[in-house]
Amino acid sequence: MDSTLILVAVIVLTALVFDYINGFHDAANSVATIVATRVLTPFQAVLWAAFFNFVAAIPLLFWHEAGVAKTVGKGMVNIELVTEYVILAGLVGAIVWNLFTWYYGLPSSSSHALMGGYAGAAMMKVALTRGAGHIMDAVVMQGWITTMTFIVVAPLLGLVLGYVLMVVIYWIFRHSSPKKMDYWFRRLQLVSSGLFSYSHGANDAQKTMGIITGVLVTVGYLKSFEVQWWVVLAAHAAIALGTMSGGWRIVHTMGGKLTRLKPRGGFCAETAGAIAILFPTFLKIPVSTTHVITGAIAGVGSIQRTKAVRWGLAANILWAWILTLPMSALVGALTFALIHYTTGKQ
């Protein structure tokens, strides 16, 4: 069998493993609120979330282009300098950081881990072949400027929308008893959690599609950067299966420790999160579902009083966010260096 084909198969499989890990790592984002409000059991919640993760593939198969995939695959790293080994090293960087944060129950961003690992590996490749002074040749600055902007904008948008939706809900139901509100919002939360899981699949699965398509272009199997139908289905299936596995350590942090939620709060957090993810997805911008839902939950919790949110825990989560890009980039860079010095490949 052709050695290039074997290597591509290994990289595609590694990308799908990352996608699977992304699913169980980010399962907390999709189900934490609906589990915390006891609308669904954990098992029911992950099945519900996984279904909508997969359903998000339908628009890409029939009428939408995979814009986020193109941004991740060629809009942030100079694809002319990318090799299959750069992509493999980047995936290793993302997987290692994801597993590390999952083990410690920290809701860090799988998306930023992937982007950091990919960029770190590309920069190391350039440093070894062109010299350290040329490492910025590896990145597309405009793509990074947009993404870094939305690292701030997306969670703030989730926070503001969560707060505003809670204000609106309290005003609409100002003459209703809490018991009556919970009766309706326990049902409405099924809709909002499904919408949030759909948005999660719509944005996050595309990041893996971008990586897989990138390697297919790099080795010459594709002439242009166009996401194939089988890549769409494989990426959505992997993230859905990962979601079904669940990331219960992070569910505990997101659903119970950050703030206490009732069904109406869960509905507002999930709806705010979904809107804050679908908006940049429409703009072809990769965002962190973790950042967005954390912001939305904090916005919902702060409607009662700022002390309702455990800001100390939120600060720990923030540190995990700050460290994700540089740490995953470091692991990606070291992995590429290891491949280069042990095999001579680049």
pLDDT digits (tens, 9 = 90+) for 149-163: 988 899 899 999 999
pLDDT given for residue 247 in this prediction: 53
How close are the terminal C-alpha atoms of the chain, in Å? 21
Answer for the pair 106, 118: CB distance below 8 angstroms, yes or no.
no
Torsion of CA 156, 158, 163, 165, to 10 degrees: 150
Residues 6+ apart with CB under 8 A from 304: none
Q: Where are the domains of the chain?
A: 3-338
Query: Which of 172-186, 252-266, 321-335 is least confident?
Result: 252-266
pLDDT given for residue 261 in this prediction: 67
pLDDT given for residue 140 in this prediction: 92
pLDDT band at 254 (very low <50, low <70, confident <90, very high): very low
pLDDT band at 29 (very low <50, low <70, confident <90, very high): low
pLDDT band at 189 (very low <50, low <70, confident <90, very high): confident
The SS3 of residue 287 is: coil
Q: Does residue 346 have a pLDDT over 80?
A: no
Backbone dihedral angles phi then psi of residue 131, each to the nearest 5 degrees = 110, 150
The SS3 of residue 82 is: coil
Tell me how far apart the alpha carbons of residues 343 and 180 are, in angstroms, rounded to a whole number: 66
Mean pLDDT score across all residues of the chain: 84
> Tokens at residue 312, please?
């100390």
Type of residue at 111? S
Q: Does residue 36 have a pLDDT over 50?
A: yes
Q: pLDDT tens digits for 72-119? A: 988 999 988 899 999 999 999 888 888 887 777 666 777 888 899 999
Share of the chain above pLDDT 70, in %: 87
Residues 6+ apart with CB under 8 A from 313: 253, 257, 258
pLDDT given for residue 255 in this prediction: 45
Residues 6+ apart with CB under 8 A from 301: 258, 259, 260, 261, 265, 308, 309
In this prediction, residues 32-48 reach a mean pLDDT of: 76
pLDDT given for residue 275 in this prediction: 95
pLDDT band at 14 (very low <50, low <70, confident <90, very high): very high
pLDDT given for residue 99 in this prediction: 83
Q: How far is CA 297 from CA 6, 90, 340, in A?
A: 44, 31, 44
pTM of the predicted structure, to 2 decimals: 0.86
pLDDT given for residue 177 in this prediction: 81
Tell me how far apart the alpha carbons of residues 327 and 322 are, in angstroms, rounded to a whole number: 9
Angle at Cα 216 formed by Cα 70 and Cα 27, nearest 5°?
60
Q: Does residue 256 have a pLDDT over 50?
A: no
Q: Does residue 235 have a pLDDT over 90?
A: yes
Q: pLDDT tens digits for 275-322? A: 999 999 999 999 888 788 888 888 887 776 555 555 555 666 667 678
In this prediction, residues 243-256 reach a mean pLDDT of: 56
Q: Does residue 65 have a pLDDT over 60?
A: yes
